[in-house]
Amino acid sequence: MINEFVKRRKKLFTQLSDNSISVIFSENDKYRNNDVTFKFRQSSNFFYLTGINDQSIVLILIKENNKCCSVLICNRPNDKDRIWTGQIPSKTSYKSKYKLDKVIYFDQLDKLNINCINNLYFEFKDKERLEELLSSIHQTSSNRYFVNTNYLSSRFNLSNLIFKLRLIKSKHEIQEISKAALISTQAHINLMKTCKAGLKEYEIESDFIRFCMNNRCEQAYPAIVAAGKNGTVLHYTKNNSLLKNNNLLLVDAAAEYNNYASDITRTIPISGKFNDYQKTIYNIVLNAQETAIKSCRVGKTLLKIHDIAVRVIVKGLLEAKLLTGTIENNIKNQKYKKFYMHNTGHWLGLDVHDPCPYILNNKPVRFKAGMVFTVEPGIYISNNQSINKNYHNIAVRIEDDVLITNGEPVVLSRNVPKSIKDIESLMAHGGK
């Protein structure tokens, strides 16, 4: 498994210019408020290259005369850490466990020996940390010829190079995302079985979180558990309202497993049965989602998938008389945005919104085998007076995680029920 991370570093090395150093910082603890930190979450790019989930370390990749060397700089194990947060690993344990060429402590920067460096790669978000580290390195006698960063001829944003590598998922990464999707699937099925009027949104959320935690998963993002009109608020996370019988419940919640995210939304009737108006809207969204997923093939783009979903939604909204005019005019004038105002998908991986590029060389990125993204159309109807009252406050989103292969797309979250029949049947009989 660790070889996976060695391979990634090798791949990155091939993209770096000669006589360069690359500096990648781990995440540091972030303060929630006085003395108290948030639960630690590793920087995804640092994790991608190391597999290490510890804070306050730095990876340096040195490429000199076309030879590559990976160096980790970490804190020396000390009594303070031992007492307060647990002993940190020694440099020998980092070196052997993560197959690094060299590991030194921050008080041993003189062991670095960096020469003839022309190019510097780092994540621009870490500029301040970088300046501080480089100045410490520069002050050590063995690195005095390592020119001050101001004189370095070129500085490059390493983030973009790593984001590009992260675009195609390896077999191992697909397994990790699939595991996250599997745990989310089971948690969604559980909530379909237990959902009933009288519960609070946070009770659904807490069950979801408990199931994930019991299966060694974090939450990939704060859960949206939105009953009735709350579903029309795209980033609703208060999750404190009462579930009522005539309403839908939109749940956008998913697990993160070994730092890999899934991202799943289902919309279910709180009573266990959709009414006719809810059915109409639900089936438009489902049709849009299934049509879009069928088109997820090598060579297509996320933009194209969005266009396909939009067309189905516009057609459905016209049939429901929620839009008037022609399909083409509604698309051209973006009239559908009153009901469908977000994109249809985003890359998925170490981050739920994986920051891989959408445009490369001025062109939308075309799908290749190994790319993973969401397909998540929705319709959100407010209680605007101009809209047929029967549709007010109906909000539906259906979101799945899709893997591109050389053949048909694979829906990693395919086992979460999504047809009206399957949802109603699970809600009616699932608890028994």
Whole-angstrom distance, CA of residue 250 vs CA of residue 405:
30
The tokens for 234 are 């795209």
Distance of closest approach, residue 229 Cβ to ligand GLY, in angstroms: 19
> Residues 6 or more apart from 401 whose CB is under 8 A from it?
177, 181, 262, 263, 264, 348, 372, 373, 374, 411, 412, 413
**Quick check: 263 binds ligand GLY (CB under 6 A)?**
yes
Residue recorded with tokens 């990155």: 12
Distance of closest approach, residue 374 Cβ to ligand GLY, in angstroms: 6
Q: Give the side-chain half-sphere CA count within 13 A for 32.
A: 5
**Quick check: 399 binds ligand GLY (CB under 6 A)?**
yes
Strand 154-157 and strand 119-122: the pairing is parallel
Identify the helix (H) or strand (E) that includes residue 388.
Answer: none
Rule CB under 5 A: choose which of 252, 290, 351, 424 binds Mn ion.
Answer: 252
Distance of closest approach, residue 385 Cβ to ligand GLY, in angstroms: 30
Distance of closest approach, residue 342 Cβ to ligand GLY, in angstroms: 8
Q: What are the CA-CA distances from residue 119 to residues 13, 18, 110, 133, 142 (Å)? A: 13, 8, 20, 16, 19
Between 173 and 399, CB nearer to ligand GLY: 399
**Quick check: 221 binds ligand GLY (CB under 6 A)?**
yes
Site string for ligand GLY, 18-57 (x = CB under 6 A): ----------------------------------------
Distance of closest approach, residue 308 Cβ to Mn ion, in angstroms: 17
**Quick check: 256 binds Mn ion (CB under 5 A)?**
no
**Quick check: 176 binds Mn ion (CB under 5 A)?**
no
**Quick check: 201 binds Mn ion (CB under 5 A)?**
no
Between 235 and 421, CB nearer to ligand GLY: 235
**Quick check: 401 binds Mn ion (CB under 5 A)?**
no
Number of residues that bind Mn ion (CB under 5 A): 4
Please give the residues from 345 up to 374 whose contact with Mn ion meets the rule CB under 5 A. Answer: 374
Between 88 and 248, CB nearer to Mn ion: 248
Q: What own/partner pairs with CB < 8 Å and gap ≥ 24 does 126-130 have?
A: 126/23, 126/25, 129/25, 130/23, 130/25
Q: Is 328 helix (H, G, I), strand (E, B) or coil?
A: helix
**Quick check: 351 binds ligand GLY (CB under 6 A)?**
no
Q: Which residue intervals of 2-90 are DSSP H helices?
A: 2-15, 44-50, 79-84
**Quick check: 43 binds Mn ion (CB under 5 A)?**
no
Between 100 and 226, CB nearer to Mn ion: 226
Identify the helix (H) or strand (E) that includes residue 94.
Answer: helix 91-98
**Quick check: 354 binds ligand GLY (CB under 6 A)?**
no
The tokens for 337 are 């945005």
Whole-angstrom distance, CA of residue 404 vs CA of residue 407:
8
Say what angle helices 2-15 and 158-165 make with each other, to 10 degrees. 130
Please give the residues from 197 up to 216 whose contact with ligand GLY meets the rule CB under 6 A. Answer: none
- Out of ligand GLY, Mn ion, none, what residue 126 binds, judged by CB under 5 to 8 A for its kind, is none
Distance of closest approach, residue 264 Cβ to ligand GLY, in angstroms: 8
The tokens for 348 are 């998925």
Between 176 and 252, CB nearer to ligand GLY: 252
Between 350 and 352, CB nearer to ligand GLY: 352
Distance of closest approach, residue 122 Cβ to Mn ion, in angstroms: 29
Whole-angstrom distance, CA of residue 132 vs CA of residue 160:
22
Between 22 and 413, CB nearer to Mn ion: 413
How deeply is 156 buried, as exposed, middle or buried, from its count of CB atoms within 10 A (0-12, 13-18, 19+)? middle
Rule CB under 6 A: choose which of 27, 252, 354, 400 binds ligand GLY.
Answer: 252
Site string for ligand GLY, 287-326 (x = CB under 6 A): ----------------------------------------
Between 238 and 429, CB nearer to ligand GLY: 238
E-strand stretches of 234-320? 248-252, 255-257, 260-261, 265-269
Whole-angstrom distance, CA of residue 198 vs CA of residue 249:
13
As beta bridge partners, residue 224 has 252
Rule CB under 5 A: choose which of 27, 176, 201, 263 binds Mn ion.
Answer: 263
> Residues 6 or more apart from 199 whose CB is under 8 A from it?
242, 243
Residues lying near Mn ion in the complex (CB under 5 A): 252, 263, 374, 399
Residues lying near ligand GLY in the complex (CB under 6 A): 221, 252, 263, 346, 352, 376, 399
